[in-house]
């Protein structure tokens, strides 16, 4: 599902994914680590809020 959200983000902005880019989708920051043939191959996901805050809510 995460890949679909990322792909839809790039489609909406009409840009090709680039390694080294950070994208925010919902409550997550996503670093694009690897792109091959215009397809995202590897990402790293970080919650915007620390997990302790998210669980407390």
* Chain segment 16-51, per-residue pLDDT in tens: 788 998 988 888 898 999 988 888 889 999 888 876
Question: Is pLDDT at 4 greater than 70 in this prediction?
Answer: no
pLDDT, greater one: 11 or 47? 47
pTM above 0.95, yes or no: no
Token pair 């792109």 is found at 35
Tally the domains of the chain: 1
- Residue 15 φ then ψ, to 5°: -125, 155
Report how far residue 17's alpha carbon sits from residue 39's, in angstroms, rounded to the nearest whole number. Answer: 7
Q: How far is CA 3 from CA 18, 21, 32, 50, 54, in A?
A: 14, 15, 11, 22, 22
User: What range does the domain containing 32 cover?
Assistant: 2-56
11 three-class SS: helix
């Amino acid at each position: 599902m995460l890949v679909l959200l990322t792909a839809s983000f790039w489609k909406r902005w009409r840009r090709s994914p680039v390694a080294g880019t950070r994208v925010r989708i919902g409550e997550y920051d996503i670093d694009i680590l690897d792109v091959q043939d215009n397809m995202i191959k590897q990402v790293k996901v970080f919650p915007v809020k620390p997990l302790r805050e998210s669980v407390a809510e």
